[in-house]
Chains A and B, each alone.
Chain A
Amino acid sequence: MTPELTPGILRLLSASLPGDLAEALVGDLAEEASQHSLGWLARQACGAIWYVHVARWRDALRGAALVSGLAAAGVVAAAAMALWGLVLGAVPRRAAHPMGFGWMLSILVAAIVAAAVVSAIVRAETTSTNDGTMRPE
C-alpha cells in the first residue's frame, strides 16, 4: 500500500459522493485501506462512484429512455403519414415532406438509434447495480 496516496483517493471519493453516504462509505474504506493494496482501494473507489451514481440516476435514465422512445414513435408516425400522403397523392408533394425525404429518414434512424442506446445503457446499468459483482472497468 502507498499510504501517501490513500488520503487523496479518499478525499476525491468523498467529494464525488452525496453527503451522508460519503461519510459512511469513505469511513469504511479508510478503516480497511491499510489491509489492502492501492489497486484494491482504487477499484473500490471507482466502483463506489459508479454504483452510487448509477443507482441515483437510474430512474432519470429510465425517463430519458421513455422520452427517446416516444420521440422515435412520433417521428415514425410523422414519416408514415408523409409517405401515406405521397402514395395517395392526397397532399401536395412539398407539404408531405417539407424537409425532404432524406432528412426525414436520417432523423428517424437517429431517433431509433438514440432510443436503442439509452435503453441499452439503462438495462446494462440496472443489471450491474443489482448484480453487485461487475466492475466499472
Chain B
Amino acid sequence: MAAVLGEFETLVLLALLRLGHNGYGMAVRREITERTGRDVAIGAVYATLERLEAKGMVTSAAGDTSAERGGRARRFFSVTSSGRQAVAAAREALTRMSEGLDLGTT
C-alpha cells in the first residue's frame, strides 16, 4: 500500500512531475500558485520538500551557482517511484470518493 499524502504534499509532488528536470523550490511555488490560485510561502514548499525527501518520495541534487543568486546553488528535486505511486494512490482515492457525487459546481 502506498504511503498516505497530505493535500499540500500531493500538490508539491504534482508540481514536480509537471516541471520535470526544472523542479526547484521557487518553480514549484510558482506552479502551485498559477494552477491553484493559492498564495504559497516558499518556506512551506521547502519544508514539504524536505519532508518528502525524508520519506523517500523525492531526491535532490545541487545545480550550478549564479551571480543572480548570490553565488548560491539551486537544489533540483525529482520524484521517486515511491512518490509517483503515492500520488497515483491519492488521485485514485479522490476519484473513488467523489464518484457519483453532485458537488453543484457546474
Given A47-B41, A133-B38, answer yes or no on A54-B74 (Cβ-Cβ < 8 Å).
Answer: no
Specify the main secondary structure of chain B where it touches its partner: helix
| 8 Å CB interface, A4-30 against B | 10, 20-21, 23-30
List B residues at the A interface (Cβ < 8 Å): 6-9, 11, 24-26, 38-48, 50-51, 62, 65-66, 68-70, 72-75
**Residue of A31, A44, A132 ringed by the most chain B CB atoms within 10 A:** A132
**Residue of B43, B45, B47, B51 ringed by the most chain A CB atoms within 10 A:** B43
Given A55-B47, A132-B8, answer yes or no on A28-B42 (Cβ-Cβ < 8 Å).
Answer: yes
Cα distance A44–B33 in the bound complex, in angstroms: 14
CB closest chain-B residue, reference A133:
B38
List A residues at the B interface (Cβ < 8 Å): 10, 20-21, 23-32, 43-44, 47-52, 54-55, 129-133, 135
Given A24-B46, A31-B26, answer yes or no on A130-B41 (Cβ-Cβ < 8 Å).
Answer: no
Cα distance A20–B40 in the bound complex, in angstroms: 21
Q: Given A32, A49, A55, A133, which contacts B40 in the complex, CB threshold below 8 Å?
A: A133
Given A24-B73, A132-B8, answer yes or no on A51-B40 (Cβ-Cβ < 8 Å).
Answer: no
